[in-house]
Structure 1
Amino acid sequence: MAIEPNFLDELRARTPLATIIGRRVKLARSGRNWKGCCPFHGEKNPSFYVYDDHFHCFGCGVHGDAISFVMQMEGKNFPEAVDELASAAGMEVPKETRRSREEVAHVQSLEDVLEQTQKVWSQALYTPAGKAGLAYLTGRGLTRHTIEAFGLGWAAEGRGSLAAVLEPHGITPHMMAEAGLMRLDEDGNPKGELFWGRVTFPIRDRKGRLVSFGGRILGDGQPKYLNGPETPLFSKRRLLFGLDRARAAVRAPRPKGVPPTDLIVVEGYMDVIALHQAGFKGAVAPLGTALTPEQLEVLWLVDPSPILCFDGDGAGRRAAARAAEVALPLLKAEHSLRLCLLPEGEDPDSLVRVQGSEKVGALFAEAKPLSAVLFDLLAGGVNNPGPEERAALRRK
C-alpha cells in the first residue's frame, strides 16, 4: 500500500508519541523527553526513551515512530497501524489510486523546482546584482557563515528574471506557480513572479525539506516581508521558520551540567537568525501570521514549555494577549507556556546586537509562566477603568 509521504508526515506530526506509548509503558519525564522500561525486552532499569517523533531503547536497540510502535506492540501490518492512528487523529487515509501516485510524483517535482530556485538565489547574493542584499544582511550583523547556514539569497530585479534562468532546466511558469513562485490570473495562468528585488529566506519543514520562501524588500516598498502562498508543500498554519534547526538543537545531547536549549518563539525571520547566531539555537517564528493552535501543538511536541517572546511595544503586548487567548483552551498539565516581554522599543535582533547575548539570555531566563502574566495582558495596561472597561475585562 503506497500512501503519499505528506499524509504520513502529517499523521506523525498530529500523533503525540508519548501519549501513544504511555498507554502501554509507564513513562516518567527525563528532561524534555520521557523514559521507561522497554516493552520489547525485560529490564528493571529504564533505558527506553521517547522523543517528540521517535523512540529508542539503549538496551535492546529497538527504535521507530508511532506507526512502527503500533505495528510491533499490536502485531498489525503497516496499513492497519496507519488506519488506527489516523482514526485517533481525525484523519482519513487517502485511498491508493493512480491519481494519488501521480500526486506524490507531482509533489516531488515541486520540491525540485524549489531546490533549483534556492541554488539560483543563494548564488545571486554574491554577484554584483546581489550586492545590496548582501550589504543589508552584513549590515544587520550576520556573518558569512550564518548567511550560508540559513541559505539566504537574492531574488533579482525584474519579474521575469527567475523564469528565464529556470527555463533551461525544464521548469515552466505553471510549475513555478504551483510551487508558490508566481501569481495566477483570473483564468489560472501564471502572470508574474512573486519574489523580485528581495532578500530571500528559505522556509523548511520540521525535517529540513524546502517548502517555500520568504522575502524582504529593500527600501520603502510594500509589503516589507512577503511569504509564499499555500501550496501542496506549504501550510503557514502548521510551520514555523527555523523549526528544523531549533528542533535538532533542543533534542541534541548535552554534557552534564549544561542547561537544556529553550525553544523560543519570536516574531520574524531576522530575529530567529540573529538569535541562532548569538547561540540561542532554539529560536523559531510564525510565518507572517499570529500564532495558531496548530503551531502551538507543534511547539509542544518539541518542548513542553516554550518561551513566547514579544517585542516591547503596544503591538507586541497585543500579540502576546492574542497568543494567550489561543493557548488557553489547549493547555494541559504537561503543556504550558512562558512569556518574555522585551523592553520598550526593542526586539531580539536589536537587543542581541546592541546589548549582547548575556543580556538577552537573562531576559529569557526571567520569562514568566502564562498564569503569572495573564491578567496584565488581558487588562491591556488600563489604569483606573470605568464601568465599561471593567465590564469588557470581566468578559475577557
Structure 2
Amino acid sequence: MSLTPAFLDELRARTSLSTLIGRTVKVQKAGREYKACCPFHNEKTPSFTINDEKGFYHCFGCGAHGDAIRWMTDQRGLPFMEAVKELAQAASMEVPAPDLRAAKRAEQAKGLHDVMASAQFFFEQQLGGIDGAEARAYLQKRGITNAACRAFGFGYSPDSRGRLKAALKDYGDALLVEAGLLIDPDGAEADSEKTIKRESYDRFRGRLMLPIRDIRGRVIAFGGRILGQGEPKYLNSPDTPLFDKGRTLYNIDRASPASRTTGRIIVVEGYMDVIALAEAGFGDVVAPLGTALTEHQIDRIWKMVDVPVLCFDGDAAGQKAAIRAAMRALPMLRPGHSLAFATLPTDQDPDDLVRAQGPAAFEAVLAAAEPLVERLWKYEHDAAPLDTPEQRAALKQRLAGITDAIAHPDIRAHYLRAFKDRYDALFFGRASYTAAQRPSGGQRAGGWQRDRRGNWKAPLPPAGGEARAIGATGLEQRLLRAILASLLRHPDQIPQHRETLSGLRIGDPILARLLAAMISASFRKETVETQGILTILGQGEVYNMAKGMLRADTFTFTPHRMVADSDRVSRDLEEAVRVMTQGPELETALAEATKRARDDLTEETFAEQQRVHRLKMDHDNRLAELVQSEDIV
C-alpha cells in the first residue's frame, strides 16, 4: 500500500507524541518539552526528550530518535502499515486504499476479523457453560489459573458438528469456511462429478481452544487441544487470508512489549510451554505453530531482539528442531544477529521444570545458553565417530558445508576461523610451527632423558586425558579474577569475549556463577551496565565477591597503570583471555604428544612433543608476566 507524504504528515500532526509515549513511559513536563527515562536503554537520569511541536523524540544517551510511527515500530514492535493503521484509527483518519482490489481485500479482512472475534466469544462462553466442565477440570489439573485463562483467552469447542455453525449463521457458510472455522466437504478437493451436496461442519469439536493473535492482539486463528484420546493431539486453523502459520508466532502480541523491558525473546516448542512460563513470570516467550521455526519467523523475532534464545526440549525431537532452526538461520545471519540455544533437562518441558524447581531453575537454563557457533560445532562433532583420519576429514567436510551456507562474507570468515581453531585444537594441539630440534648429548629437555643405552625416554603424561578446569593453579586463579573484575568494570567488553568465555570450565563455583551471570546479562540487554549485573546477582556470596572486585584498587594487566583507555582495556583483555584459555589446551596437547612419543618414539613424535613443550613454557612465562604485576590482587 502506497501512502502519500501529505497523509503521513497529517497523521503525525494529529498525534500527540507525548500522550502516545506516556501510555508506556512516565513522562514529565520540562518547559516546552517533555522528558522521561529512555525506554531503549537503562538509565536513572532522564535523557529522553519529547517535542510535541516538532513531532519527534530524541535520547541524548543512546541516540534513539524518531516520530510517532517510529515509536510504534521500534517500541511496540509493529510492522509499518500496522503502526499507521493504529495511529490513523486513534486520529479518526481513514487509511487510503490504493485501488479497488486493495479496498476489497481490506473489507474482506475486516469481515474475517469480525468472524474470528465472534468465534472467540462463543468458545469462551462454552468453556464457562455445562459442556465446558471437562475442559475446566483439565485446566485445573494443569494448574492454570483463572487469570491466565482470561489473559490467554481459553475457550471450549463443543463435541458437535454444528454448534458453532449455528451460533454464527448470520455470517454465512462461505465466510466461516474462509475463516477456517468450518470444513466444506465439497470444496476444491471434492469430486466434481458428485451431485449430492454435503453440509459443511465445525472444524473444532470437543477441544480446549486457544486463540492465536496477531501483533495487534486480534484473533486470526485457533489452536485446539483434544481432551481425551484421539489424534491429532493439537489442531490448528488452516492457512487463511488472515493466518499464515509459517509467518505467525504464538503470543507475539504479549511477548513483543515484554521484550522491550527484558531485552530478550525466548522461543519454546508449543502453546502450553508459553503459558506455563508466563505463569512463572516469563512474559517474553513465543512459540511456532506446529512446525519447525521458519525463516520468516526468525526474521520476525530479529526485529525484536538481536539474539533470541531457543529453548527446546532436551529429547531427540527437541534437539533436532533446534538444529533445523540453526541451519535455516545460516543464510540469514547478519552482523550482530544470531541465535542462542538453551537446553532443558532430558524428559522435562518448561512446565515440568518450573513446577518442580521454580523459576530460578529456568533462569539457570537460560544463563547456560550456547552461542550458535558452539551449538553447530558440538552437533557436527557428536554426529559420527572421529577415530580414523577419514572420519576426521568427514567432520571437516561437514563444517565446510555449514560455512558455505552463510551468505554474509565477514560472518562466514569468522565461522571458518572459529571452526578451524576448534578443529586444530582437537586434532593437532595448536597451529603448526616448524624447526623443532632434538636435544643432543645427555641433556634433559621437557622431562626427556637418555637411558643407559643412549635412547631418549619420554616422561609419563599427567593422569587423565581430560582438560583440567580453568583456575586450577594459583597464577591462573589470579588472572581469572583479574579478567572477571575488568569485565565488571567494563561490561561493554563482555559480548566481544562471550563466545570464548562460554566454553570455559571453571573450577571455582563462585567465579563460574559470576561469569554465567555476566554472559546472561549480555544476552538480555544490548547495553550491559555494571549495576545491572549486580542487580541480577542479588545478595549472596557471588554478589559479595563481585563487590569486592570492584572495591579493589585496580584489576589491570599492565603495571603502574591506574586509568586505562577503552582501546587499551580491549587489547589487554583479549591478551589475558587468550593466555587463560590456552593453558589447559596446551597441557592436554602436551600430555597427548608425550604419550604418542612414549608409545612410538620416532624423530617426528619427539619433535612434536618438544614443540608443544616449548609452547607450554612460553605460555607459562607469559602467564607469570601478566599476574606478577603489582596491580593484580
TM-score by length of 1: 0.75
Residues 1:242 and 2:251 are matched in the alignment? yes
Instruction: Report the counterpart of residue 161 of structure 2 in structure 1.
Output: 159
Superposed displacement of residue 372, structure 1: 1.8
What's the secondary structure of 1:376's corresponding residue? helix
Superposed displacement of residue 166, structure 1: 1.7
Superposed displacement of residue 262, structure 1: 2.3
Q: Contact conserved, 1:173 with 1:190, CA < 8 A, in 2?
A: no
In 1, Cα distance between the equivalents of 2:218 and 2:292? 23
- Give the direction of change, closer, same or farther, for the CA distance of 1:139–1:385 in structure 2 (3 Å limit): farther
Instruction: Report the counterpart of residue 373 of structure 1 in structure 2.
Output: 375
Q: Aligned-residue CA RMSD in angstroms? A: 3.6
Instruction: Report the counterpart of residue 20 of structure 1 in structure 2.
Output: none
Within the candidate set 262, 273, 276, 1:274 is matched to: 276
In 2, Cα distance between the equivalents of 1:331 and 1:2? 30
Instruction: Report the counterpart of residue 291 of structure 1 in structure 2.
Output: 293
Instruction: Report the counterpart of residue 87 of structure 1 in structure 2.
Output: none
Instruction: Report the counterpart of residue 360 of structure 2 in structure 1.
Output: 358
Q: Contact conserved, 1:113 with 1:179, CA < 8 A, in 2?
A: yes
- Counterparts in 2 of 1:165-244, with a 5 A limit? 165-167=167-169, 170-188=170-188, 191-244=200-253
Superposed displacement of residue 382, structure 1: 3.6
Instruction: Report the counterpart of residue 138 of structure 1 in structure 2.
Output: 140
Within the candidate set 87, 96, 99, 1:96 is matched to: 99
Q: Contact conserved, 2:48 with 2:58, CA < 8 A, in 1?
A: no
Superposed displacement of residue 45, structure 1: 3.3
Instruction: Report the counterpart of residue 398 of structure 2 in structure 1.
Output: 393
Structure with more helix by fraction = 2
Within the candidate set 107, 111, 114, 1:112 is matched to: 114
In 2, Cα distance between the equivalents of 1:127 and 1:133? 10
Superposed displacement of residue 365, structure 1: 1.7
In 2, Cα distance between the equivalents of 1:282 and 1:44? 25
Q: Contact conserved, 2:212 with 2:223, CA < 8 A, in 1?
A: yes
Residue type of the partner of 1:183? I
Superposed displacement of residue 43, structure 1: 8.2
Q: Contact conserved, 1:37 with 1:46, CA < 8 A, in 2?
A: no
Q: Contact conserved, 2:173 with 2:182, CA < 8 A, in 1?
A: yes
Superposed displacement of residue 221, structure 1: 0.7
What's the secondary structure of 1:364's corresponding residue? helix
Range that drifts further, 262-271 or 119-128:
119-128
- Give the direction of change, closer, same or farther, for the CA distance of 1:126–1:208 in structure 2 (3 Å limit): same
Instruction: Report the counterpart of residue 305 of structure 1 in structure 2.
Output: 307
Q: Contact conserved, 2:120 with 2:211, CA < 8 A, in 1?
A: yes
Instruction: Report the counterpart of residue 79 of structure 1 in structure 2.
Output: none
Larger-gyration structure (1/2): 2
Superposed displacement of residue 173, structure 1: 1.9
Unaligned runs of 5+ in 2: 4-38, 73-77, 84-94, 189-197, 403-633
- Give the direction of change, closer, same or farther, for the CA distance of 1:50–1:311 in structure 2 (3 Å limit): farther
Superposed displacement of residue 135, structure 1: 1.2
In 1, Cα distance between the equivalents of 2:231 and 2:289? 17
In 1, Cα distance between the equivalents of 2:117 and 2:219? 7
Residue type of the partner of 1:232? P
1:346-367, Cα deviation, whole Å (9 max, x unpaired): 1112211222111111111221
Q: Contact conserved, 1:321 with 1:378, CA < 8 A, in 2?
A: no
Superposed displacement of residue 56, structure 1: 4.5
Within the candidate set 49, 64, 70, 2:64 is matched to: 49
1:43-97, Cα deviation, whole Å (9 max, x unpaired): 893586369x95359xxxxxx985899xxxxxxxxxxxx9xxxxxxxxxx99502
What's the secondary structure of 1:159's corresponding residue? coil
What's the secondary structure of 1:121's corresponding residue? helix
- Counterparts in 2 of 1:9-88, with a 5 A limit? 30-31=40-41, 45=60, 49=64, 54-56=69-71
- Give the direction of change, closer, same or farther, for the CA distance of 1:367–1:230 in structure 2 (3 Å limit): same
In 2, Cα distance between the equivalents of 1:236 and 1:371? 28
Instruction: Report the counterpart of residue 345 of structure 2 in structure 1.
Output: 343
- Give the direction of change, closer, same or farther, for the CA distance of 1:42–1:221 in structure 2 (3 Å limit): closer
Percent identity between the two aligned chains = 39
Q: Contact conserved, 1:268 with 1:286, CA < 8 A, in 2?
A: yes
Q: Contact conserved, 2:154 with 2:210, CA < 8 A, in 1?
A: yes
- Give the direction of change, closer, same or farther, for the CA distance of 1:114–1:123 in structure 2 (3 Å limit): same
**Alignment length, in residue pairs?**
334
In 1, Cα distance between the equivalents of 2:57 and 2:277? 44
In 2, Cα distance between the equivalents of 1:274 and 1:193? 29
- Give the direction of change, closer, same or farther, for the CA distance of 1:44–1:333 in structure 2 (3 Å limit): closer
Range that drifts further, 343-352 or 371-380:
371-380
1:288-338, Cα deviation, whole Å (9 max, x unpaired): 111011101110111111100110100111111101000111111121111
Superposed displacement of residue 388, structure 1: 7.0
In 1, Cα distance between the equivalents of 2:199 and 2:240? 15
Superposed displacement of residue 103, structure 1: 2.3
Q: Contact conserved, 1:197 with 1:217, CA < 8 A, in 2?
A: yes
Structure having greater relative contact order (Cα 8 Å, sep ≥ 6): 1
In 1, Cα distance between the equivalents of 2:82 and 2:236? 36
Residue type of the partner of 1:96? D
- Give the direction of change, closer, same or farther, for the CA distance of 1:37–1:389 in structure 2 (3 Å limit): farther
In 1, Cα distance between the equivalents of 2:108 and 2:138? 36
In 1, Cα distance between the equivalents of 2:245 and 2:171? 25
- Give the direction of change, closer, same or farther, for the CA distance of 1:68–1:317 in structure 2 (3 Å limit): closer
In 1, Cα distance between the equivalents of 2:186 and 2:64? 53
In 2, Cα distance between the equivalents of 1:226 and 1:67? 30
Residues 1:262 and 2:264 are matched in the alignment? yes
Residue type of the partner of 2:60? N
1:251-294, Cα deviation, whole Å (9 max, x unpaired): 24xxxxxxx25210000000001101110000100011110111
